Amino acid sequence: MMTPKERLIFALDVSTRREALALCDELAGEVGMFKVGLELFVSEGPDLVREVARRAPVFLDLKLHDIPATVGRAAAVADRLGVHYLTVHVDEGGRSLAAAVEACSATRILGITVLTSISDADLQAAGLSTNVEQTVLQRAQLAAERGVAGIVCSGQEASRVREAIPKSMEVITPGVRPAGTNADDQARVVTPAMARLAGADRIVVGRPIRDAKDRVSAARALVAELG
């Protein structure tokens, strides 16, 4: 059973080792996991991932999207780095997901369904005939069939996804904002309490903590809401 603190993943959305490790040292006792995304990984690389992993579990959010052989090899490298989660896009059809799962002995693969910045209009502009919720459910079910450990979706779809996948799988929800705050570039946002009520196991939060005047207090407020 996870504690409320373990349910909170903090996104290290900065570009330098100095900034990232300062945030880690400030928040290591307040959050359950640190997310390393594309900006920080491209800037600082695998060595930074190893340094963060010495402080707390790492969610390596690279959103891999390539042919199965390439995704599988990249996942094997992430596995050797000791990361807890690695993300792979579902929309290539599932073979790359299966390759990533097969390549890892400890790292848990998460299937990215539809980014929280995407709306129904965006999908239609890209030539898809389904809406966001239908697309998320289809991709979540496909990812579950390929053996992933969890699904990444917005809190708006979390309850339907929770019903559609095995209980052993996790639902991870980004695009979470405290009530009354700016949605920024997110199209589908929920509050922490709404995400938990919908069945999300963990939430990912970046800017509301990073940009707060008192980051520790901001993290603790989110944890309290998750409790």
**Catalytic-role residue among 5, 63, 167, 213:** 63
Distances (CA, A) of 185 to 2, 142, 147: 30, 27, 31
Please answer whether residues 163 and 95 qualify as being in contact, where contact means their C-beta atoms are separated by less than 8 angstroms.
no
CA 135 to chain centre: 18
- CA–CA distance, 27 with 208 (Å, rounded to integer): 13
DSSP string, 16-81: SHHHHHHHHHHHTTT-SEEEE-HHHHHHHHHHHHHHHHTTS-EEEEEEE-S-HHHHHHHHHHHHHH
63 is catalytic: yes
Q: Which residue shows structure tokens 């993300």?
A: 87
- CA–CA distance, 49 with 189 (Å, rounded to integer): 28
- Number of residues assigned to the chain: 227
Distances (CA, A) of 223 to 9, 11, 13: 10, 15, 19
Question: Where in the sequence numbering do the catalytic residues fall?
Answer: 63
